[in-house]
Amino acid sequence: MSDIAIELKGIDKSFGPVHANKNINLKVRKGSIHGIIGENGAGKSTLMSILYGFYQADRGEIFVDGKKITIRDPNAAIAAGIGMVHQHFMLVENFTVLENVMLGAEGAAVLNRGIVNARAELKRLEEEYEMEVNPDAIIEELPVGLQQRVEILKAFYRKADILILDEPTGVLTPAEADHLFRILAQLRDEGKTVILITHKLREIMAITDEVSVMRRGEMVASRKTSETNVEELAELMVGRRVLLNVEKGVALPKEVRLSVKDLTVKDSRGVTMVENVSFEVRAGEIVGIAGVAGNGQSELLEAIAGMRSAVQGEVMLNGKSTDVTGPGDPADLRARKLGHVSEDRHHTGLVLQFEEAENAILGYHGSPEYLRGGLYNMNAIREAATVEIEKYDIRPPNPRLKTANFSGGNQQKIVLAREMERDPDVLIIGQPTRGVDVGAIEFIHKRIIEMRDQGKAVLLVSVELDEIRSLSDRILVMFDGRIVGERTPDTSESEIGLLMAGIEGKMEAAE
């Protein structure tokens, strides 16, 4: 038996003119956690999709446990003991957890018997790996952290010995990420092999045994994690030295641009998610909202952006009141110089079937510069998109490529470019660097600081506490739909963490 779980030799893959993988060689030891890092568009997900049978390599060989195999589709990968959890989950949203786990692996000619067996096995897996989830819950009603658990349980249900995770923490809170890492460490101790695709260098250093670095389709280095550091890995990823800390001058706040008063918002179930929230954002400052996902941040941004009606409250934009209790008019708010980077780029930020150039003008598509004789001037639209592509280093640099074919980080840059380049007075940003690599994070952070220094009012929501503390001039902490405290960026992580958990707020209330 080989001590190498996976070996790839000479893997090469092109999509038309895009050379996604160039003669890739990789060895992954059994019973290890092997990280694969690289910038967005470096070819990481393509390589793993080849290993899982979604794509076929143009050239190259795959060895599993020392044996050369051909993986023509995911069924062949599953048969070889390989499971994969994708960055964007492969779940049927209106099915239950149990139905998703057993789909395609019903396990008995009589469905009822298969359901009974599957329920018992799912319960065993949940207990073994401390991943409890209601088997009868509908997927679309679950938070993303629990949906990811379902994907992992699906792989274990199919007897995976090798588990590939593609950007698994991009949708998780810090606490959920820590729990995931405990699960991965447990899997490694039991002899399973984990391949972790991530752009977060701290995660690589915290959990992996070895790490391989990809850059522009090539495998440029492999290291034992204990023998490297974040600075070296960042430089290998990007091909130059990367500024890992945000540099910014002192904020010079001026007039109030955004004012929120006594805002209360309910979700689609009628549950109050934002309760009597009030704050202001001034020109020339960044106000960050810290909090564990699901504490009302999403609903707050949606109400300010006109995407969700509020129960009560007032939002003032540039001194003019907005009817937040009505149906909402995002187009009017954009015309009044409000830019909005949505938290969910796939559902509310982009139309994935559209070209990059078409997405680059969404929400601004009525502008005269894009029209000619009442019709769209596609040459002008694509020329404008090409300028943004170059400025924001969007890869591949093709304005006619379908947006679905860009990596998640490059999709994020398309949204950021569209909103930032419209010169808004107020910019609200949800999760600006979700699924984005270290080089792009550096660029995005610089652009946010530049917006502030140009006199823009920036409201920032992020589950990355380091990001909130690095970028913000003032930090508001949300818990259970309320603002429970305001802090400065030099406040300790532990103090902000207590507020995020609602502990300090409860103690003050008790007093």
Quick one: pLDDT at residue 511? 38
Quick one: pLDDT at residue 222? 96
Alpha-carbon distance 215 to 227, whole Å? 20
Quick one: pLDDT at residue 504? 63
Quick one: pLDDT at residue 148? 84
- DSSP at 326: S
| Residue 449 dihedral angles phi and psi, to the nearest 5° | -65, -40
Hey, what amino acid is at 85? V
pLDDT digits (tens, 9 = 90+) for 410-462: 899 999 999 999 999 999 999 998 767 777 788 899 999 999 999 999 999 99
> Given 3-state DSSP classes, what are the helix, strand and coil percentages for the chain, each rounded to the nearest 5?
35, 25, 35
On whether the CB atoms of residues 388 and 418 are closer than 8 A, the answer is yes
Spatial neighbors of 218 by CB under 8 A, at least 6 apart, are 22, 23, 24, 43
| Angle, CA of 328, 262 and 314, to the nearest 5° | 35
Below-50 pLDDT ranges, the chain: 109-110, 505-511
Quick one: pLDDT at residue 509? 40
What's the sign of the alpha-carbon dihedral 420, 273, 433, 246? positive
Alpha-carbon distance 256 to 46, whole Å? 46
How does DSSP assign 452-467, residue by residue?
HHTT-EEEEE-S-HHH
Q: In what order do the strands lie in the sheet with 67-69?
A: 18-29, 4-15, 59-64, 67-69
| pTM for the predicted model, two decimal places | 0.68
The CA-atom distances, in angstroms, between 196 and each of 166, 199, 204, 223, 491 are: 6, 10, 8, 14, 32
Alpha-carbon distance 414 to 408, whole Å? 10
Give me the domains of the chain, ranges plus CATH numbers: 4-238 (3.40.50.300), 256-348+425-510 (3.40.50.300)
Quick one: pLDDT at residue 110? 46
Quick one: pLDDT at residue 106? 64
Quick one: pLDDT at residue 321? 95
